[in-house]
Amino acid sequence: MKKIMLILALAVSMYAKQETIVFAAGCFWGVEKHFEHYEGVVSAKSGYVGGNYANPTYEKVLKYRRTNSKDIVNYTEGVEVVFDDEKVTAKELIKDFWELHNPTQGDRQGNDVGNNYRSGIFYTTDAQKQIAISTKNEYQKLLKDAGYPQITTQIEKLDKFYDAEGYHQNYLQKNPNGYCPNHATGVKFKKEMKKDVFIEPLGGKEVVIIDAEFCPYCELFEKNVSSSYKGNIPLRTSHQENLKNFKIKTSIVGTPTILFIEDGKEVFSHTGYMNKKDFYKALGGFKLGKNSEAYNVAFDEGTDGRYCKQYDIFKNTPDGVFVDKLSGDVLFDTRDRFNSHSGWLSFFKAVDGSTIEKEDLRYGMRRVEVIAKKTGIHLGHVFDNAPGGRQRFCINATVLEFVARDKIKN
């Protein structure tokens, strides 16, 4: 009997740590995926919230998305988030909700138009309510400074949450290339750095950004560089006093200071703001080595040897994508790859928006150079000689990395 009582007490204790809140921020597929991978979130489930008729379904919600009826209040697409408040706070989740989407658009999110896409926070505790209101007021000031209008987010107590149909749950896990637009404004809250949070070396290569409170160039670097970084060399931000067991040779006299570290030891550093182009060139030297073929291709507009080793590795990969070796951005898709028998990787096209094309008149030739949009690295050239009169993107393999389709992180 005592054993049963102990188990019951432990169960009650475990669930006492959990809270529930519902967020509506446009299409629930992407919102669910965002929060279900959040550390401290126990579960994230898609559904319908904020309406006044019984038993909503996807078909009903779509039917009433433009209703003018005074009697019908339609539901919005929401995500029920259950979280452990000892691992993640309601304030952290609510702040993340504001930054996740555009809360000023009324009955829409981007191209998704209808009252079922309206923004909303549906709280379950008075503390959540107060946090939602106070962070809304704080975020409104930041949005106003950035030129955005008034927040239209619905904030009310959760009445009833209806689970969405089974095929909507974990939709983007089942459909990795499914619809998942990014409606974020890019406006962010100022970071709250906990004084007792220390970071220690991860081992291997990593980049640590030293920032400080009220540092405008730190915020600019975060906005322009680190917030969009997806590379496989870890990048972290910390206050100087929170570093533990690092061997730093640079005297940190200003912020941001960008530390390039290997096995806990500083390799080199840069103090002051770095624009995107300069950061990725420094990262290129750190990751690739300044004497490497890949660095020569990326920054000195070199060319891989025909039928080089990396080409042989990449020419017959499984289904997937090729990413920028430095930023991690997706550049090319195996679905667009073909064998041109040229000795270089060939694609019919680049991923939309990932590259820039520029006229190249060097060596007495008239060509079109292909450049990675984010990092500015040289990728190759594009020619009009592919089968069917299509374009051929002739790309150097040494500046790419391959990611299998089922390993892609959205």
Query: What is the residue-level pLDDT of the chain in tens, covering all 410 positions?
Result: 555 444 444 444 445 579 999 999 999 988 998 888 787 899 999 999 999 999 999 999 999 999 888 899 999 999 999 999 888 999 999 999 999 999 999 999 988 899 999 999 999 999 999 999 999 999 999 999 999 999 999 999 999 999 999 989 988 777 766 667 778 888 988 765 554 578 899 999 999 999 987 788 888 999 899 988 999 999 999 988 889 999 999 888 888 999 999 999 999 999 999 999 999 999 999 999 999 999 999 999 999 999 999 999 999 999 999 999 999 999 999 999 999 999 999 999 999 999 999 998 887 888 999 999 999 999 999 999 999 999 999 999 999 999 998 887 65
Task: Say if residue 24 is in the same domain as residue 170.
Answer: yes
Its pTM stands at 0.56
Q: Which tokens in the block code for residue 403? A: 């990611």
Task: Say if residue 267 is in the same domain as residue 321.
Answer: no
Task: Say if residue 150 is in the same domain as residue 59.
Answer: yes
Instruction: Assess whether 27 carries a catalytic annotation.
Output: yes
- Split into its structural domains, the chain has a count of 3
Task: Say if residue 264 is in the same domain as residue 377.
Answer: no
Task: Say if residue 264 is in the same domain as residue 364.
Answer: no
The verdict on residue 188 lying in a domain is no
Asked if 371 and 393 touch (Cβ cutoff 8 Å), the reply is no
> Among 211, 220, 269, 218, which Cα is nearest to 243's?
211
Question: Residue 337 is part of a domain; what is its CATH number?
Answer: 2.170.150.20
Last residue of a domain, one of 274, 301, 320: 274
Catalytic choice (27, 180, 215, 394): 27
Instruction: Give the domain extent around 253.
Output: 205-274
Asked if 197 and 242 touch (Cβ cutoff 8 Å), the reply is yes
- Provide CB contacts within 8 A for 322, sequence distance 6+: 314, 330, 331, 332, 333, 334, 345, 395, 400, 401, 402, 403
DSSP string, 359-403: EE-GGG--EEEEEETTT--EEEEEEEEEGGGEEEEEE-GGGEEEE
